[in-house]
Amino acid sequence: VQLQASGGGSVQPGGSLRLSCAASDSSFANSAVGWFRQAPGKEREGVSCISPGGGVTYYADSMKDRVTISRDSTKNTGYLQINSLKPEDTATYYCAVTSIVGTSDPSRYYNFGQGTQVTVSS
């Protein structure tokens, strides 16, 4: 499955964005989906993940009060809502899939795609 993240942009601190992850085929429905981010000079880190059915979710401590992950498998699309954006959230955000439920370890995921840039500044 190929994935394409979109929805990033430049926002002021306190703003919100809704990122989308569009999948190329219906195998997406059987995969757990993870969101990751990578800032310049830093390692890729897990932000959130969701099980194939949507019933199990995980949020990184650094963002858990500000993000909501969801998916619509009928549209082969995943979403990440980020609120109260901070300058330190500036990064490229990626989505990826895995057969393992409940892990945020990037090494367990594949098909990261090109990502979408989020820039938070005043």
- pLDDT, tens digit, 9 for 90 and up, residues 43-53: 999 999 999 99
Q: Is residue 73 over pLDDT 90? A: no
CA distances from 27 to 24, 30, 42, 74, 98 (A): 9, 6, 31, 11, 11
| Sign of the CA dihedral with 95 first, then 109, 26, and 102 last | negative
Residue among 95, 80, 104, 107 nearest 24 (CA)? 95
pLDDT in tens, 20-63: 999 998 899 999 999 999 999 999 999 999 999 999 999 999 88
**C-beta neighbour count of 109 within 10 angstroms:** 25
